[in-house]
Amino acid sequence: MLKKTIFKSFWFWLLVLLIAIQAFSLNVKATLPIKESEELQVPKEVLSILKRSCYDCHSSQVKAPWYYNVAPVSWFTQLHVKNARKIVNFSKWNNYSKEKQLKILKKLPKSIVIRMPMSTYLSMHKEATLSHDDKKRLNAWAKELKEKLK
């Protein structure tokens, strides 16, 4: 009998805790206002790779799953989006200085080999995995744009 009450109260307090932590949000919006003039202009096939594999963190058009706003998962997902946007938000590409654009393009080939998209994200979004061809296309695009900007 006593055991049963303790068991019950554990779930009760867990629920209270889960509700309480919802008050603590990083408040990183999934979508932000977009200006067409600021958006990255790239060939369609490159854009579709970026949209599929990178835009859920590096853009103002994050496709938020249901848990995006549910703590404690939201703390991690929103922090990823916040940090990713700090590095590059492709929806604001044209706002960046040439130096910043070059810096990003220089980092891109290594990042897609070693760690992008993030593995924790890929475990939930298999469709975002970059194929060998996707990587080749992204690298070729980055190289071409780098040459143009220099």
84 sits near ligand HEC (criterion: CB under 6 A): yes
Q: Of residues 74, 117, 141, 145, which one binds ligand HEC by CB under 6 A?
A: 117
Q: CA triplet 31, 33, 38: central angle to 5 degrees?
A: 115
What is the token pair recorded at 89?
Answer: 């938000």
Tell me the C-alpha distance between 60 and 39, whole Å.
10
103 sits near ligand HEC (criterion: CB under 6 A): no
145 sits near ligand HEC (criterion: CB under 6 A): no
CB of 52 to ligand HEC, least distance (A): 8
Strand, helix or coil for residue 132: helix
Nearer to ligand HEC, 18 or 140 (CB): 140
Q: Of residues 28, 39, 46, 58, which one binds ligand HEC by CB under 6 A?
A: 58
CB within 8 Å of 9: residues ≥ 6 apart: none
Tell me the C-alpha distance between 9 and 36, whole Å.
53
Q: How many CB atoms lie within 10 A of CB 85?
A: 19
83 sits near ligand HEC (criterion: CB under 6 A): yes
Q: Where are the alpha helices (DSSP H) in 22-114?
A: 44-53, 73-87, 98-114
CB of 57 to ligand HEC, least distance (A): 3
Tell me the C-alpha distance between 76 and 116, whole Å.
16
Segment contacting ligand HEC by CB under 6 A, of 1-9, 10-18, 20-28, 108-116: 108-116
80 sits near ligand HEC (criterion: CB under 6 A): yes
Nearer to ligand HEC, 8 or 143 (CB): 143
Binding-site ranges for ligand HEC (CB under 6 A): 53-54, 56-58, 80, 83-84, 87, 104, 107-108, 111-112, 116-118, 121, 130
